[in-house]
Chains A and B, each alone.
Chain A
Amino acid sequence: MDMSAYPLELPADDRPMVRFMNVVKSYGRLVVLDQLNLDIAEGEMVTVIGPSGSGKTTVLRMLMTLETINGGVIYIDGKPLTHMERNGVLVPADERHIRKMRASIGMCFQHFNLFPHMTALQNCMEGPVQVLGLSKAEARARSEELLTLVGMIDKKDQHPSRLSGGQQQRVAIARALAMRPKVMLFDEVTSALDPEVIGEVTNVIRKLVAEHNLTMLMVTHQMGFARDISDRICFFYRGKIEEQGPPAALFGNPQKERTKQFLSAVKEAD
């Protein structure tokens, strides 16, 4: 598709928080995502499920701009994320544009990736102070509030090595929220956790869904959890959305053969 076919900005009456428009991702000849079109409305919670290698984590990493895309455009809040305007057309974005745009996106990782040389509180304050330019006092107040939200305020002065996986992940959620993102990405945030602590992390995410108007995109293997809290489920298969819909419909009455196979395989594994 010609670049001039992509709008420089999405019109006010058709402006989802996130729009993937004909997005292609390939590694050499291997096409990971093929012409992906996906809208996420403001405040919507969308969960991506699918077999491994179906490209679901890639969707999140592209939105975080950790992966460059090979075709199409991603828009955030109506503005192009992966591209920028030059002489009336969209061209691939430079480092500065991407850094400005990705400030509205927060991400939590499978392996938490907390900064080991900082305490829980310092982890949360790092972005607000160093990137947003908040004063230490403001950043501390904001971080303490968020650590309270995730139930980690009494451990705020501990280094990550002294925290359990579930505790580290909750701090990581607070760290991402401290940047006040419009969109939060959760990349298999419970996959590296012991079963008995998964609940403390999913409960934090439930609380976010219930009390905050955040737009969220999540990849998870916790089907029950996904069913409970998502507004919409997207089932990915071989780099395409095979089927999507509200959780009740997709889990209760899947239409496609692939979806049925995947869901019954997952149910057996449980």
Chain B
Amino acid sequence: MPIWEFLQTYWPLLLNGTLITCAQFLLASVIAIACALAAGLGKLSGNWLIRGAAVIYIEIFRGTSLLVQLYWIFFVLPLFGLTLPSFIAGFLSVGLNVGSYGAEIVRGAIQSVPKGQWEAGYAISMSPAKRMRRIILPQALALMLPPWGNLLIELLKGTALVSLISVADLMFQAKQINASTFLSAQAFGTALVVYYILARFLITPFMRWLERSMARRLGRA
């Protein structure tokens, strides 16, 4: 079947899948950014309990496979009485996993803010929390945007795994079409192109825009 005919027939399914993928991406991103900030800051905390919790989170989610984590959250947690719908289990796993990588980006960026900035905040008597919020984090944010761009593309591609717990995302739809029609090249080829377009023409330009507006805030543009 020519690709044009294929798209005419299956576009509603593929569009649906793409929208679910976008939703998974956005929700997982929110979880990832929140976890990365909390764990990145936690790792720098003076309190050993907070630091310990951050280290354990990072070790578990960075050190084991995303697919296994996904299966754990979807198939094993119910054995302990916590049953999550597949949609929620999906973005939660991806978000927690990517957040553990993001935590190291956050920590690294915070530590890269020049020592003079910490001392200047100290010299005007700021409390550590206020200094972090008002002086250090705004500058760290600018430093961490480029690596975050990379990580968010990884995250988008990682969401394809949620098809394995039957979330009806783009990958899931492609597999369904393939199973009933055996049009493998068209089905997976289209999925490939859609993932590329989302990464290349939505995430990358958005991150560039963020970087530029951040540079403007630092007066560098």
Contacts and interface: CB of A to CB of B under 8 A. Distances in A.
Contacts of B139: 116-117
A130 B220 CA distance: 25
Interface string B103-132: 000000000001011011011111110100
Given A99-B127, A161-B220, A130 B116 contact: no
B120 A115 contact: yes
A109 B125 contact: no
A161 B219 contact: yes
Nearest to B124: A127
Contacts of A114: 120
Contact of A116 (B128, B130, B219): B219
Given A106-B123, A131-B124, A113 B219 contact: no
Q: Which interface residue of B123, B138, B139 has the most chain A CB atoms within 10 A?
A: B123
Contacts of A102: 122-123, 125
A227 interface: no
Interface string A99-136: 10011011101010111110100000011001100000
A162 interface: yes
A100 to B, nearest CB: 8
Nearest to B116: A113
Given A109-B119, A111-B116, A117-B138, A179 B124 contact: yes
Interface range on chain A (Cβ under 8 Å from partner): 20 to 34
A7 to B, nearest CB: 25
Contacts of B217: 117
A175 interface: yes
A158 B122 CA distance: 23
B84 interface: no
Contacts of B15: none
Nearest to B214: A117
Interface in A187-208: none
A158 B218 CA distance: 10
A114 B139 CA distance: 12
B134 interface: yes
B117 A126 contact: no
B183 interface: no
B135 interface: yes
A176 interface: yes
Nearest to A163: B219
A109 to B, nearest CB: 6
A160 B219 contact: yes
Contacts of A160: 219
A115 B119 contact: no
A66 interface: yes
Contacts of A176: 123-124
A159 B218 contact: yes
Contacts of A130: 126, 130, 134
A120 B120 CA distance: 14
B218 A113 contact: no
Q: Which interface residue of A103, A106, A130, A179 has the most chain B CB atoms within 10 A?
A: A130
Nearest to B142: A117
Contacts of A179: 124-125
15 contacts: A102-B122, A105-B123, A107-B123, A109-B116, A109-B119, A113-B116, A113-B117, A115-B117, A117-B218, A130-B130, A130-B134, A131-B126, A161-B219, A175-B124, A179-B124
Given A113-B114, A161-B219, 20 more contacts: A66-B119, A102-B125, A103-B125, A105-B123, A106-B123, A109-B119, A109-B123, A111-B116, A113-B116, A113-B119, A116-B220, A117-B218, A119-B219, A126-B124, A130-B126, A130-B130, A159-B218, A160-B219, A161-B220, A175-B124
